[in-house]
Amino acid sequence: MYAIITTGGKQLKAVVGETLFVEKLDAKVDDEVTFDKVLYVEGEKVIVGKPYIEGAIVKGKVVKNGLKDKIHVLRYKAKSNLRVRRGHRQPYTAVTIEAISLA
């Protein structure tokens, strides 16, 4: 059984037992989080939401809060001696999916 959920402006496939890397959530390690914006559930039968499935909940547990690898952003303009180099590390929250329920 798996579900498609929406969090942080992205759609992610949630399977019980797998770890998802989502946009940073306001939760500490070992906190329980619930995702109620479920778009699609496939198991014994397929359920598609319009846009969300009412009563469907995906539960997970926060494993880690961290930062992804640094990316370098370079801005350059020819003939004006403009060169700006910046770095960015996107924060994330790792969540292990524990249950998918249709209430």
Task: Quickly list DSSP for 69-103.
Answer: --EEEEEEETTTTEEEEEEE--EEEEEEEEEEEE-
Q: Residue 25 is which amino acid?
A: L
**Res 7: pLDDT:** 96
Instruction: For residue 78, give its domain range.
Output: 2-102
pLDDT tens, per residue, the chain with 103 residues: 999 999 999 999 999 999 999 999 999 999 999 999 999 999 889 999 999 999 999 999 999 999 999 999 999 999 999 999 999 999 999 999 999 999 7
pTM of the complete model: 0.84
Give the chain's domain count: 1
Pairing of strands 46-48, 82-88: unpaired
